[in-house]
Chain A
C-alpha cells in the first residue's frame, strides 16, 4: 500500500506526463502482479463503489481524532476534500502499529469486505486500517472507501505506461483493457504479455471519440473529403455478434445485452464475427424519429422490462460504423469502405427497423452543411458529426479525422446569488455559484442553475473577493451575496421541472463570461427562458452518452 500511495503522490505532484508515465511504468514493472492489477483498475477509474456512508465516516473520523463534529466540519470546509480532511486529522499513531500490507491484500481482505459488514464491524475495521497506515496511505485509502478515488492520469497515459512495460503497441493494451475483467495477478500478466492472446468472444473494441470542432468548418478543407451525420443523443454502444451470441456494450463498458431484447432478433440475423458501433436510441416508429431521451431513462430505471415498457419505449441501434467484418478487424480500413460494408450488411438483414444506418447528411458546400446543422434541434440531435472519408477507426479521443460539431448552446444572463467554496485545487476559493433570473421584470429572483466552470483563475479570484465582501447571509458553507454580478450561462437543453421552484431545469449549465456590461436588472426573465422550451432538445442527464 505504501508503494501505491507513493505512486499516487508521484502522479499527483507532477504536471509532466513523462514523469507520470515513468512513475507508473516503474510501478507496473516492479510491483507484485496482483497489486499491479488493482492499481491499473483504480488508475483507469474502475473504483469500488462507496463502501461506508459519508455521514458515518465523518462521525468516526471525528471520534478517532478526538474532536467535536463542528470542528471536523470547519476543517472539512478549509480542506474541501473529505478523504484528505480525515487523513490530516487522524492521530499520527505509533509507527510500531503500522503494517505495510500489499495493495491487493488491503483491497481484497479489508476494503471490499466492508460492503457486507454491519456498522460496528465497519467501524472496528476502519479503526484498525487507519492505525496500520501512515498519513499518505490513509489519504489514498479514504479515497477508495469513499468511492472518490481519482488521480491525474487519463486512461491513455495508463495504457502508455503498460505498453512500455509490455513492449507491445498501445492500441493492443487498450483493447485488452476493454470490457469485463477481474483485477487478478493472472489478468495483469496477460495484460502486459507480449504475445497475442486467444480472444474472448465478448471482447469489445475501444471506442473512437471525437473532439469538438472549434474552428469554422472551412478549415477542414475540401467538403468532398468529409461525410456528415447527425450527432444523435442516446447511448453510444457496440453490438457484437460472435459464435452465435449477441453482446451489447455501452461506452461506459457496461455489458447490457439483456437490457435490449428489442435488438436480439435482428442481431441474430447478423453473420458471426460482426461488430457494429452505434447509438442506442428510444424510437418512435410512427414519427420515424427518436423519442425524448428522458423516455430511455425511464426505461433504464425499470428493474423488469415488461411488455408494456418495451412497447412504449422501443429501442433501436443507429449504426455508425463497422469494426469487425466476417471475423476480421477492419478498423484500419478507410471509413468510406467500412461504411459501404456496413450498409451492405444492414441491407441484407431480413428486418431493418431495429438496426438502421445513421443516415448521411448530404452537402456539397460548408454553407449548406451549416444550414443543415441549424435544424439539429428539431431532429432531437445535438448537432453534426464530421468524419473524414479516409479515416481509420482509432482508439480513444483523437483530433483530426472525426469532429463533433454541436449546435450553439442556448444561453441566458443570470444574477449571481450564492457561492460556495470549491474542492480540490480550488478548496479555498468561492468557485461554485448559484444563479437566478427574474420571475418578472422588477420582480424577485428565482434560482435556475448552479455552475462552477468556465472562468479563468483571475476571474475566479475576482469573484472570490466579491463574495467575501458582499456576503449577506450564510447557510453553513454557502454564502448569499448581493445580487450585483451578471454572468452569461450556456446550457444544452431546458425542460419543465416541477421539482424546481422556478419550474424549469437546464442541462449542463456553464459560465460563458461575466457580463460587466449588464446590471442585475438586465438579467433574463423566466418568460424568456420558457420561450426557449420550444427549440430545446430533449433533456438527458447522462453526459457520457454522446460521441
Chain B
C-alpha cells in the first residue's frame, strides 16, 4: 500500500519502509534533499543525500561539517528494499525529484520544480508514478509565464535605459538559482556586472559544476581594491545582482543613483509590484506556472496527488474536478516569498534564518492550504 510508502509526520515527508525523510523541517537521521533552498534544506540532519550538481550549493549552505552524499540523476540506490532515485526538477542547479519505489508502488516527491528549460539547471523530466507530491506555489490560472527569453529582453532593455540615464541597475533576486539564471541571460556588453556577497559563492559553485556565467565581480572586492588604490567608484551603467534582503540597506544605497527591480513570479500582479516601492518588477520564476503544473501532473500518470505549499487547496479542488484523488497537505515549505524583504539565509547559512523562515509560512500558501 502506497500510504505506507510515504507519510507526512511532524518532521516532514517520511518513508517508513526506507526509514528516511525528504526535505524534513526538523533534524533527522537521513534526509534526502530536493534542493538547497532554505525551506527544503535545513540544518542539523545527520546525513544528507542529494545530486552531485546540487551538492556544491548545498555545501555552501550547510557548511563544511555536514555529511553530504550524492547520487547521480537517474541512478538508483536501495535501502531496506526501497529503491530510491533522483530525477531533474529544473528548479535550480542539481534540484531533484525523489522517486521512491517499494513493492510495485511508486511515489515521487518533486520538491520545487519548473517546466521551462533554462541554461543553469538540468531540465525537468516527468516521472511516472502512483503518488505524486507536487508544489503549488503559483497554482492559479493568472500565473502564466512569458518565455524567459522575453523577460531577459525586458531586463536587458531596462538595464540599457538605466545606463543611458546614468543609473546603476539593481536586480533583486534569490541568491541561489534565480540569480545565476538571470546572470546567464544578461547581455554583458551593456556594462559591468557586480554581485552581492550572498550571490558570489553560489556563482562559484555553479561555475565549478560547469555552468557558464558571464564575468561577475564581487562588490566587496571592488570596494576594497578601490579603497587601497584610492580610486573613485563609479556604479553608473553597471548591473548589480543582490538578494531581496538588500533592499533599502546602506549596502544598496551606495549604488545611487539607481533603479531597483525585483525578479519574482509574484511580480505578475500589479498590486504586489506597486507595494514594493520598486521601480520595476519582472515576472520570472523558478517554479512552474499554472499550465506547467497541470502538464507536469498529467505527465506523471499519478492517480493520487498530494499538493504542498502555495495555492494547494485551489489546485486540489481543480484536480478533484478532473477525477484525480488530490489533497492539500500542510508543510513548512514556502515556495517563493512574495515580499522584497523576504529573509533568505546568507551564503554561510545560519540556522536562525531557518527558524524564522519556518515560522513565516509563505503567505498565500498558508492561506489556501488551511482552508
Contact = CB atoms under 8 A, between A and B. Distances in A.
B140 A75 contact: yes
B271 A427 contact: yes
Contacts of B275: 425-426, 428-429
Contact of B142 (A13, A79, A423, A424): A79
Interface residues of A, number: 30
Interface stretch (A81-89, A350-358, A485-493, A536-544): A81-89
Contacts of A53: none
B130 interface: no
B217 interface: no
A70 B317 contact: yes
B321 A423 contact: no
A438 B336 CA distance: 42
Interface in B303-351: 311, 314, 317-318, 321, 338
Given A84-B269, A425-B275, A426-B275, A78 B142 contact: yes
Contact of B321 (A68, A81, A84, A89): A68
Nearest to B366: A468
B270 A12 contact: yes
A80 interface: yes
B309 to A, nearest CB: 15
Contacts of A65: 141
User: In this complex, which of B268, B270, B272, B370 has the most chain A Cβ atoms within 10 angstroms of its Cβ?
Assistant: B270
B244 to A, nearest CB: 15
Contacts of B370: 471
A392 to B, nearest CB: 36
B364 A78 contact: yes
A428 B318 CA distance: 22
A57 to B, nearest CB: 16
B149 interface: no
B141 A67 contact: yes
Contacts of A12: 270, 274
A429 B276 CA distance: 13
Interface string B273-311: 011010110000000000000000000000000000001
A68 B321 CA distance: 10
Contacts of B371: 474
B336 to A, nearest CB: 13
A15 interface: yes
Contact of B272 (A13, A88, A428, A471): A428
A423 B141 contact: no
A199 B367 CA distance: 59
Interface string A20-62: 0000000000000000000000000000000000000000000
B363 interface: yes
B279 A74 contact: no
B142 A75 contact: yes
A74 B311 contact: yes
A14 B140 contact: no
Q: Bin the interface of chain B by size.
A: 20 to 34
A74 B270 contact: no
Interface string A422-450: 01111111000000000000000000000
Contacts of B366: 468
B284 to A, nearest CB: 16
Interface in A175-200: none
B261 to A, nearest CB: 10
Contact of A425 (B142, B271, B279, B314): B271
Interface string A276-312: 0000000000000000000000000000000000000
Contacts of A471: 370
B281 to A, nearest CB: 9
Interface in A63-102: 65, 67-68, 70-71, 74-75, 78-81, 84-85, 88-89, 92
B245 to A, nearest CB: 16
A207 to B, nearest CB: 30
Interface in A393-434: 423-429
Contact of A426 (B271, B318, B364): B271
Contacts of B268: 88
Contact of A78 (B269, B279, B317, B318): B269
Nearest to A13: B280
Interface string A120-146: 000000000000000000000000000
A71 B141 contact: yes
Given A74-B311, A468-B366, A85 B271 contact: no
A468 B314 contact: no
Nearest to A16: B279
B341 to A, nearest CB: 10
B20 to A, nearest CB: 32
A336 B317 CA distance: 71
Contacts of B140: 71, 74-75, 78
B279 A424 contact: no
Nearest to B318: A71
Nearest to A469: B366
Given A14-B279, A88-B142, A424 B317 contact: no
Given A71-B318, A74-B311, A427 B272 contact: yes
B177 to A, nearest CB: 23
B100 to A, nearest CB: 31
A80 B269 CA distance: 9
A88 B141 CA distance: 8
A80 B270 CA distance: 10
A84 B272 CA distance: 12
A419 to B, nearest CB: 12
Contacts of B311: 74, 78
Interface in A201-215: none
Contacts of B277: 15
Contacts of B271: 79-81, 84, 423-428
A75 B141 contact: yes
B288 to A, nearest CB: 17
Contacts of B270: 12, 81, 84, 424
B142 A428 contact: no
Nearest to B143: A88
Contacts of A80: 269, 271
B269 A427 contact: yes
Interface in A140-157: none
B275 to A, nearest CB: 5
A120 B367 CA distance: 38
B223 to A, nearest CB: 28
A407 to B, nearest CB: 35
Interface in B190-241: none
A471 B144 CA distance: 31
Contact of A428 (B314, B317, B321, B363): B363
Nearest to A464: B363
B141 A425 contact: no
Contacts of B318: 71
A424 B321 CA distance: 31
Interface of B: 140-142, 144, 268-272, 274-275, 277, 279-280, 311, 314, 317-318, 321, 338, 363-364, 366-367, 370-371
Given A15-B279, A75-B141, 7 more contacts: A12-B274, A75-B140, A88-B144, A425-B271, A428-B363, A429-B275, A468-B367
26 contacts: A12-B270, A12-B274, A13-B279, A13-B280, A15-B279, A65-B141, A67-B141, A68-B321, A70-B317, A74-B140, A74-B311, A74-B314, A75-B141, A78-B269, A80-B269, A88-B144, A424-B274, A425-B271, A425-B274, A427-B269, A427-B271, A428-B272, A428-B275, A429-B275, A468-B363, A468-B367
- 7 smallest beta-carbon distances between A and B, as pairs: A427-B271, A88-B142, A425-B274, A75-B142, A425-B275, A424-B271, A74-B314
